[in-house]
Amino acid sequence: MSAMGGMGSVELSQGLKQLKGEHPPLILQLKNLFSLTQKMEKDPNLADYIELTTKVEKFKAELDPHSEREEGVLFPMMGAYIGTTSGPIAVMEYEHDQAKLKIKEFLAAEMELLSIEELKTRAGLIRDAYYILTEHFSKEENVLFPMAERMLTNEEKEELYQKIQEI
């Protein structure tokens, strides 16, 4: 993605700053989820799984609007310049889909029917989502957002900010 002009330090506009600013609280939650998955790998138990489920539901409730702001507003705006079927936008959307799929699969389980080994395996889905999303956020912050800042017109940046306020 560096060939797309995203590298380098750049001052982000208001909307891109907001999107970037939403990452630290999400990353903090991800780290807490990851710690719990690590604990469950060593000693899987229903109490930790229930705690993990509650925390994943809270995380998902905060991740979903963030994702919608990117998928529904930023990605299409950038896609008008660089396309959406391949390249950076396609990669970002794929990573969103993969992380959401793992979270959805984790939350779909009926806890009382899971064996201890299944608890451990399902917690691994959240561990995988952690890896996908931490790398994904880094790509956005270091490549995609600077690329968008350089690519979008001032009017588009204002439109981006206005539209993400509605989500």
Average confidence (pLDDT) per 10 residues, the chain, 167 residues: 52 97 98 97 92 97 98 97 94 97 92 83 96 97 96 97 96
CA distance 92 to 32: 23
Indicate whether 4 belongs to any domain. no
DSSP per-residue codes, 31-92: HHHHHHHHHHHHS--HHHHHHHHHHHHHHHHHHHHHHHHIIIIIHHHHHHHH-SSSSHHHHH
With respect to residue 7, please indicate whether it lies within any of the assigned structural domains. no
User: Is 5 contained in some domain?
Assistant: no
User: Does some domain include residue 41?
Assistant: yes
In a domain, 6, yes or no: no
CB burial of residue 101 (10 Å; 0-12, 13-18, 19+):
middle
Per-residue pLDDT at 9: 74
pLDDT confidence of residue 160: 98
CATH number at residue 117: 1.20.120.520
Q: What is the pLDDT of residue 10?
A: 86
47 in a structural domain: yes
Other Cβ atoms less than 10 A from the Cβ of 77: the count is 19
Contact of 16 with 157, CB cutoff 8 Å:
yes
- The 10s digit of each residue's pLDDT in 24-45 is 999 999 999 999 999 999 999 9
Assess if residue 76 is contained within a domain. yes
Q: What domain count does the chain have?
A: 1
Query: What is the pLDDT, as a whole number, of residue 8?
Result: 53
Domain that holds residue 23: 12-165
User: Is there a domain that residue 92 lies in?
Assistant: yes
